[in-house]
Amino acid sequence: MKLGFELRLTFTQQKTTGDIAPQWDSLANIINFNSFLTQATDFYGRNDLDMLQLGNGGLTFDESKSHFTAWALMKSPLLIGTNLSAITKETLGILTNREILAINQDPVVGKSISPFRWGVNPDWTSNSTHPAQYWSGESQNGTVFMLLNTLNEPSDLFFNLTESPWIRAGRKYSVRDLWSHTNNGTAVRNFTAKAVPPHGVVALLLKDAGDEPTGLFPACSVWWQCIDKNGTHVGG
């Protein structure tokens, strides 16, 4: 008697909020709502953040970049919702960012980026105007970061690398800017994005580049948790 087996893979796509509009307030609300649902995204299913609104009016260039970055890195389906026969080079340039698209279409890692710090608000705060600002996640080529300026003015965005669960202490990391398409040296222990435009975004790919330099003070990157070999606490 010959036994046969059938394997069925189920994929679901679920719209998570009400209808989107080509306005920053709508985008911020959707980003905020979905910041609490990122664990539900993987190869088995996607949180659908609704159609992309680039090119439909109502969004600045930086807001459009933030929109596309958040949707792509949160692994939402990327459904273009504008008239392609009238699309501008500026909008087309955003939609065809190959480095951002590569994260969305990663064949190895299906999970969404997630917040590791909220920024303007205390962590785990639901705020439809000021969603989480500091996000990270895995990819097949390194750790992905999204830094989102939710303010109406330029802002510096600073974080310690080890705030992200995907970063190892005691290492330095090469920094790739996924919008300028440039390699920006290495980061050791922390990173600051300077003067991020209002409602603007920074998207980075960090790759392990070896041991951090010796002789840094304090002795370890999270000094208040640092224990020496003899079991004593190392002060900062």
pLDDT tens digits, 145-187: 999 999 999 999 999 999 999 999 999 999 999 999 999 999 9
pLDDT tens digits, 206-226: 999 999 999 887 777 665 666
pLDDT at 231 over 70: no
Query: What is the C-alpha separation between 201 and 148, in angstroms, rounded?
Result: 5
Beta-bridge mates of residue 211:
171
Output the six-digit token pair for 217: 């003070």
Query: What is the C-alpha separation between 139 and 223, in angstroms, rounded?
Result: 28
List of domains in the chain: 13-120+131-211 (2.60.40.1180)
Contact, 121 vs 127, CB < 8 A?
yes
pLDDT tens digits, 26-83: 999 999 999 999 999 999 999 999 999 999 999 999 999 999 999 999 999 999 999 9
Residue type present at position 202: V
pLDDT > 70 fraction of the chain, expressed in percent and rounded: 87
Q: What is the pLDDT of residue 225?
A: 62
Q: What pTM did the predictor assign?
A: 0.89
Contact, 48 vs 40, CB < 8 A?
no
pLDDT at 10 over 50: no
Closest CA to 221 of 179, 187, 196, 195: 187
pLDDT tens digits, 86-111: 999 999 999 999 999 999 999 999 99
Q: How many other C-beta atoms can be found within 10 angstroms of the C-beta atom of residue 134?
A: 19
Kind plus residue range of the DSSP H or E element containing 183: strand 182-188
